Amino acid sequence: MKLLPSQGNRTGWLMLAVLFVLILLPLLAVVIQVLFPGIFFGTLKIGDLSLLLDIFRRPLWYASLKNSVLLGLGTTVLATLLGGALAFARSRWAFPTARLLDISVWLLLITPSFILAQGWVMFAAPDGLAAQRLGWNGAAALVFQPAGLIAVMTLSKFPLAYLTVKAALQWRVERLSDAARLSGASPWTVLRTVELPLLLPAIASGAMLVFMDTVGDFGLPASIAAVFRFPTLPYSIYSALYTSPIRFDMAGALSFYLVLLIALAMSVQLYAMRKSRFDFLSSRAVESQPRRPAKGGALLALANSAFLAIAIGIPLGSNLLMSLQGDSAGGEFTLDNYRALFQGDSRLAQGLAHSLEIALTAAAIGLVVGFLTAYVLTYTSFRLKKTIDVMSLVSLAVPGIVLGIGYIFIWNQAWLQHIGLLLYGTPWILALGGVAGAIPVITRIMAGAMAQVPERLLAAAQLQGAGFFSRLRTVLAPLVKGALLSAGLTAFGSSVFDLALSSVLYPPNYMTLPVVINKAFEDLRFGYASAATLTGAGLVVLIILSVDLLARGTRRRSRRTTS
């Protein structure tokens, strides 16, 4: 029993148009600005491609490109090795604190990078916690150099490689390894010639995810700018918009090269996966079960605890300690920073309220768009649904700073004012950016849930005369309401702490929570920034947990009523 195609096609065209406006059009605007300088602002210069070469002639532009590539490649190599090794150890051996590793990986993954980077700055700054509390004066020289920044970035990005490789290690085909060992291969030879080649697609995927997330990261350069000059493409793009005069040419050119790096990384990933496909799973595959090591279990637990103390304890612990003392790391413990959050002009309260408003709007609109997009991908035969699938994933790979530049080019045109669509300088442009960032996550969550709902249920409702929206509201939505809640809360939480888009697009006198925190950090108000970070994050987590518990309670009461 199949659904009639007409409504699916109409929904497909609608979603294609929405995704084009929200995601693809801003990215095209960045490319067009470079190919046709002045087309959006200034004098149009057709065929003038000099901006593409200026990056090799202008010291700041070239340094930004070089630093981004160096940071991306270095972090990719180290994070892939670290994440892969940890995933391999976690899948093979059972040891105390192993579960703590999984929890810490997810904590690092959901914590905004600028919060982690600020923690490292407060720890390693010349007058930071390492110097004042531990008497270690060499931390600044160790961290604030290219190799140190690569190490810091590695400790925040390795979860991407860890989760990718760990997922690939879920199933094992023992007969392949056994055959190699029966042929006289040593354990090292088996690992090198059998197991690692089979993991190559997962390793390549994890490495490219690390690279794309690193080169597009705005949090690290924004946080270290207060104590160390290390320009990268995202931070130089941001700086171009906040210099006088505004350098749209610089922002456009640097955004073009940032998109180019992302595109190259995606191409390498697709090539590696196409050339290294191995269909080795069969009915003999068994789920991996970690085993207790014959010896060395205590050593593994100790090494894991020490690693987590560095990766998690330093950045988050530094935020906590600095929030409980003055802006100097050697100050006495006090609650003054928390009291200051809601005194005076109460910028934190305003920024938090603005961020919650934007996040709530973005989550609500994103749920509608993501729900309908997942419906098109799951239940329709729309001929361009593969295009929709790709477009829905683009904003996941493209840095928020680039998307923000594209939004400025598109939504800051004078002619839009005559039709009421001049969104630049209004909170609505932040909401649209939040929607664009939320669509990939919402679509993936909803598509996974809809895959479990048979199409025949919707077709039966259609035969009974139920309209399109009636079927969605009375049949599909109730069956995937758990996924709707998860997708909405995920989109809400991620939108609150989006520093890149907020820094580029926030309207005058409409500061958001990430901007308030980052500006306090730039002003060297470390204690205030830490207190604001923990207070804002705690409130957001409390809201998410409260809504989740309320929804669970409602479902339990509903089940008792129906039974």
Beta bridge partners of 171: 287
Q: What is the pLDDT of residue 339?
A: 83
3-state per-residue secondary structure call for 127-157? CCHHHHHCCCCCHHHHHCCHHHHHHHHHHHH
Is pLDDT at 47 greater than 60 in this prediction? no
Query: d(Cα 187, Cα 193) in Å, to the nearest integer?
Result: 10
Number of neighbouring beta carbons within 10 Å of residue 247: 17
pLDDT band at 394 (very low <50, low <70, confident <90, very high): confident
330: Cβ–Cβ under 8 A, 6 or more apart, which residues? 127, 132, 133
Residues 319-323: contacts with CB under 8 Å, at least 24 apart: 319/115, 319/118, 319/119, 319/122, 319/530, 319/533, 319/534, 320/530, 320/534, 321/122, 321/129, 321/133, 321/530, 322/122, 322/129, 322/526, 322/527, 322/529, 322/530, 323/527, 323/530, 323/531, 323/533, 323/534
Q: What is the pLDDT of residue 314?
A: 92
Is pLDDT at 550 greater than 80 in this prediction? yes
pLDDT tens for residues 278-291?
A: 544 444 545 556 77
Dmax (CA) of the chain: 78
Q: Is 269 or 234 the better-scoring residue by pLDDT?
A: 234
Angle at which helix 481-496 crosses helix 347-379, to 10 degrees, equals 140
Q: What is the mean pLDDT of residues 417-443?
A: 87
Query: d(Cα 331, Cα 128) in Å, to the nearest integer?
Result: 11
pLDDT band at 331 (very low <50, low <70, confident <90, very high): low
pLDDT tens for residues 206-219?
A: 888 899 889 988 88
Least confident among 69-83, 110-124, 272-286, 543-557? 272-286
Q: Is 344 left (phi over 0), alpha (psi -120 to 50) or beta?
A: left
> What mean pLDDT is reported for the chain?
82
Q: Which two tokens stand for residue 290?
A: 């970690």
Is pLDDT at 496 greater than 60 in this prediction? yes
Question: What percentage of the chain exceeds 70 in pLDDT?
Answer: 85
pLDDT band at 338 (very low <50, low <70, confident <90, very high): confident
Among residues 353, 340, 309, the alpha carbon closest in space to that of 527 is found at 340
Is pLDDT at 395 greater than 80 in this prediction? no
Is pLDDT at 64 greater than 80 in this prediction? yes
Least confident among 132-141, 177-186, 245-254, 374-383? 177-186
